[in-house]
């Protein structure tokens, strides 16, 4: 099994990469996990992996139970968090107990947030089962829920004690969810590592075939990019904001479409919109914009969508939690592997970008 160390001082942890759950119990013992565990998942993942993980842990001496909430971004709300906390009480979790987040990004965000507030904070472990969560949301300690039409507006930084990635869970992933995850993977290459971007761009067939060895290589290289950014800026006071490339417009589109598109799809078109703004400003040549579009298209992204009116999307952008001093923050590429942060993008630039990604 491969391993990556995320160095955050007392909040440090390992990311484990493999192709099964067989090493999970040993890794839990290495972090001195308590006997009492609550596996938090959703109604989709419960059917696929909850019993396997529970039985594996219990056969190794742990006392684990499963709590599942209804799957879907629309359920990423406070009442679901209270449901998780209620399950913690029902299953007699104390301050030394641990939550195990088994599922995609919504599960990780919600289980992590619940862990951050239950008894003023207990430990948790991430077992991401989607490409989106394996490539992005399980690493870095961001947790949160949606509230009043704003995405991830309530939450906390709460680092996991361990991230355990079984890449073979991707073989049960619907195609649209795989496409969604590739949005974050491609993003990491664009913002920080041109060699990794070229690896992803030049190997679409091997990656889409879900070859375990290729997926482990991709996952480890991808997570190392995010880990280095998080190590430099754990709580997004500076550098970590570059991870929001594609998110300023992407989150607004996601909300305006009432979450009918996946997060990664919206990040993909948000990256195109941001790259279009960069092209119009002369920061990158049009051939870089085309290269980004072609790479996304090769992984199944639809880059021209029938979107709500620009005014509606713009209205959601004004609720972006990343605004500062009333100004929207954008991450724009200046070449593959390097981006800059700006807060002077004018309304007409935004509207032109929205028109560019619209049918």
**Is 247 in the active site?**
yes
- Active-site option among 65, 231, 236, 349: 236
**Is 158 in the active site?**
no
- Active-site option among 54, 192, 221, 251: 251
Query: In this structure, what token pair is assigned to residue 163?
Result: 């991230």
- Active-site option among 120, 306, 346, 359: 120
- Active-site option among 161, 187, 188, 226: 226
- Active-site option among 46, 56, 263, 265: 263
- Active-site option among 44, 152, 166, 244: 244
- Active-site option among 76, 151, 201, 247: 247
Q: How far apart are CA 87 and CA 106, in angstroms?
A: 17
**Is 244 in the active site?**
yes
Region of residue 219 (left: phi > 0; alpha: psi -120 to 50; beta: else):
alpha
- Active-site option among 27, 46, 73, 184: 184
Residue 105: CA count within 13 A, CB half-sphere:
25
**Is 240 in the active site?**
yes
Buried b (16+ CB within 10 A) or exposed e, 316-335: bbeebebeeeeebbbbbbee
Q: What is the largest CA-CA distance in the chain?
A: 61
Phi, psi of 69 (to 5 degrees): -110, 170
**Is 188 in the active site?**
no
**Is 56 in the active site?**
no
**Is 201 in the active site?**
no
**DSSP letter (8 states) at residue 333:** E
Phi, psi of 165 (to 5 degrees): -105, 115
- Active-site option among 54, 142, 161, 192: 142
**Is 349 in the active site?**
no
Catalytic residues: 120, 142, 184, 226, 236, 240, 244, 247, 251, 263
């Amino acid at each position: 099994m491969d391993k990556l160390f995320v160095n955050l001082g007392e909040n440090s942890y390992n990311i484990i990469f493999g192709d099964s759950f067989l090493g999970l119990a040993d890794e839990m013992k290495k972090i001195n996990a308590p006997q009492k565990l609550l596996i938090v998942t959703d109604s989709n993942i419960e059917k696929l992996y909850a019993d396997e993980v529970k039985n594996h842990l219990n056969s190794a001496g742990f006392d684990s139970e499963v709590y599942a909430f209804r799957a879907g971004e629309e359920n990423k709300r406070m009442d679901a968090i209270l449901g998780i906390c209620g399950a913690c009480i029902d299953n007699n979790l104390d301050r030394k107990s641990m939550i195990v987040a088994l599922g995609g990004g919504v599960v990780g965000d919600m289980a992590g947030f619940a862990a951050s507030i239950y008894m003023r904070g207990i430990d948790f472990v991430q077992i991401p089962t989607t490409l989106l969560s394996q490539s992005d949301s399980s690493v870095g300690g961001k947790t949160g829920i949606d509230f009043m039409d704003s995405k991830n507006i309530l939450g906390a930084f709460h680092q996991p004690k361990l991230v355990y990635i079984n890449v073979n869970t991707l073989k049960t992933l619907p195609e649209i969810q795989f496409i969604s995850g590739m949005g974050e993977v491609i993003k990491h290459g664009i913002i920080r590592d041109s060699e990794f971007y070229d690896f992803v761009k030049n190997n679409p067939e091997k990656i889409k075939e879900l070859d375990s060895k290729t997926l482990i290589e991709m996952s480890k290289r991808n997570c190392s990019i995010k880990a280095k950014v998080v190590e430099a800026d754990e709580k997004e006071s500076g550098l970590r904001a570059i991870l929001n490339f594609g998110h300023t417009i992407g989150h607004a589109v996601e909300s305006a479409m009432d979450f009918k598109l996946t997060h990664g799809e919206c990040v993909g078109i948000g990256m195109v919109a941001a790259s279009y703004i960069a092209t119009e400003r002369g920061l990158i040549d049009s051939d870089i914009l085309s290269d980004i579009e072609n790479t996304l298209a090769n992984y199944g992204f639809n880059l021209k969508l029938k979107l709500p009116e620009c005014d509606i999307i713009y209205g959601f952008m004004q609720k972006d939690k990343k605004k500062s001093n009333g100004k929207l923050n954008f991450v724009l590429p200046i070449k593959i592997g390097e981006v800059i942060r700006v807060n002077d993008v004018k309304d007409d630039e935004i509207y032109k970008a929205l028109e560019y990604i619209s049918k």
